[in-house]
Every structure is written in structure tokens, then in C-alpha cells.
Amino acid sequence: MTPFLDNFFNFDVIAQYAPSILGGFWLTVVVALLTIVVGVGGGLILSIVRAMQIRAADAVITLFVDIFRTLPQLVIIVFLYFGLPYADIQLSPFAATVIALGAVLAAFATEIFWAAIQAVPPGQWDAARSLGLGFFRILFLVILPQAIRIAVPLLTNRAISITKGTALGTAVSLPELLGRAQSAMSIAANPSPLTLAAALYLVFFLPLVVASRWLEGLGPRRH
């Protein structure tokens, strides 16, 4: 038992590298939160555009969704960081990671919001039209509030899954939590820094998982 504790819970090693790892943790939190803002906000906007039923826009959005739901997140990050400079566009590791993960989340969020909009009974549209409301007032005042409530549980789960991809930023030298922990582990020749990183991932993501389950309980129930 002692060798196990010395390798994975060596507090001297943890204390030595904690400041660096905590710096990576805060960067991971910022990247994750921005990914959620970009992804959920972008998905909501694209689903609203789809609701307008403009054929050309719908085709472009469908193509975007299919591409970014299919490609691995790592491929997108690497392409943005190493590929765009050939087009005279230089992104930082931070920007490349946020944009890549945000685009992937936006693709999934678009489908989730769109499915939720379609799940609202058609009679809601008809009833609102009978009151003299126009398309946008119906969409924003009647349909979207119901659709968002339907979408939130599934969207929360998807957001958690994708934001854990912040660790992929190490491929473009983003000094996030896992990257710093791996570096510290190599220097110290001891995996205790990874134990600290795992604990910090739990601190950030476990409340989101608990919130997701709570939101699922608030979702619409079938009778």
C-alpha cells in the first residue's frame, strides 16, 4: 500500500507542482465556459434560422452540422491551428481550441434545439396565429421557451461531453490542466500530479453532472 500512496498521493510532489497545475485548471475552466457560450449560443441562433425555413440557409446549416458532428475534435483543433496559417490566419492555441470545441458543440446544439422546436405541438403555432401574433413573436414568445425547456437536459449532457475535450488543446501546446499535469509527472517521475488533475476535473465537472441529472428530473414527463 505504501508504494501506491507514494506514487499516486505523494503530497510533497503535489505541493511542488500545485501552483502550475492550478494555473492550468483555471485556463481549462475559461476554455470550457467559452466553449459552452459559443456552442450553445451558436446552436440556438442556427436553429432559429432553420425555423425560418429558408432553403439555402437550411442547406448550409445542415452541411455545417453534418461536418462538425462527424469530424473528431482533435482533427478540427489541429486544422485550425496548423492549417489556417496557410490562409494567412493565425490563431492562438486558446482561440483554436475554443473555436473548434465551440463549433462541435454548436453542431450538436443546433440539432437538439431544432428537434425541441419540432417537438412543440403544432397547435401552439395555430393558437398563437389565431391571436394575431406574427412569426417572430410566436417563435420567441411561445415556441422557444417551451423548446428550450425540452432541450436543456440533453444539451447539458452534450456540453459536458464536449467540454471535456479541452484536454485535446495539448496537441497545439495549450497549457491547460491535463497538459501541465503530464509535464509535471514527467519532470517528477511520479504520477501524483495526475491525481491532483483528476481531483480538479471532479471539482469542475461533477457539479455539472449533478445539475444535468437535476434538469432531467425537471424535464417534460410522458404520461
Q: pTM here?
A: 0.89
Query: Which pLDDT tens digits describe the chain residue by residue (223 residues)?
Result: 677 777 888 889 999 999 999 999 999 999 999 999 999 999 999 999 999 999 999 999 999 999 999 999 999 999 999 999 999 999 999 999 999 999 999 999 999 999 999 999 988 888 988 888 888 999 999 999 999 988 988 898 888 889 888 889 988 888 888 889 988 999 988 899 999 999 999 988 888 878 777 766 665 554 4
Cβ count near 206 (within 10 Å): 10
Domains of the chain (ranges, CATH numbers): 14-218 (1.10.3720.10)
Query: Nine-digit cell at 145?
Result: 421557451
Query: Nine-digit cell at 174?
Result: 495549450
Is-contact 215 153, C-beta < 8 A? yes
Give burial (CB, 10 Å; 0-12/13-18/19+) of 214.
exposed
